[in-house]
Amino acid sequence: MAAAAPTVVPSSSTSSSTIQWDVFLSFRGEDTRDNFTSHLYGALVSKGIKTFKDDEGLKKGELISEALEKTIKKSRISIIIFSRNYANSRWCLEELALIMERWKKNGQKVIPIFLKGIDQLDVKHQKESFGEPFGEHEKNFDRKMVERWRSALRAAAQLPGWSFIDFR
């Protein structure tokens, strides 16, 4: 699936005092930190787009969940990078749920990216690598929390985004 390239305004043009970041990147570090995400981050930053990547923007000692929630709320756009192990991570799913709540309540722009081997329908219907982890999640976490994650996956997978077959 393809969508027109989003218009991202560099933060120097941002008029709202509540917006601190132009883009928030949600990704599974072990899958994409040193390849796709680092390249995307570098490209955005080189264009003057103030971009939050967890290893760049968190201050030592901050509680991760609180810091990420504040950062998501202060971001104009969230880009969700769906990779093979994204749904294995409780943190990724919690970020996703916060992003989708912000999208629903405040109209924050959300752009999903489906990397090689990730089918948008697998994300939507939680199949393959997006379904397998939920057996463990259902054992380890509250039922309401798991349903919140499932709902966020369904909603995000229905948004216009990009599929990348190959990246280096």
Radius of gyration of the chain (CA): 15
Short-list 79, 86, 68, 83, CA closest to 149: 86
Tell me the catalytic residues. Answer: 95
DSSP readout, 12-30?
GG---TT--EEEEEE--HH
Q: How far apart are CA 128 and CA 147, in angstroms?
A: 18
Residue 138 identity: E
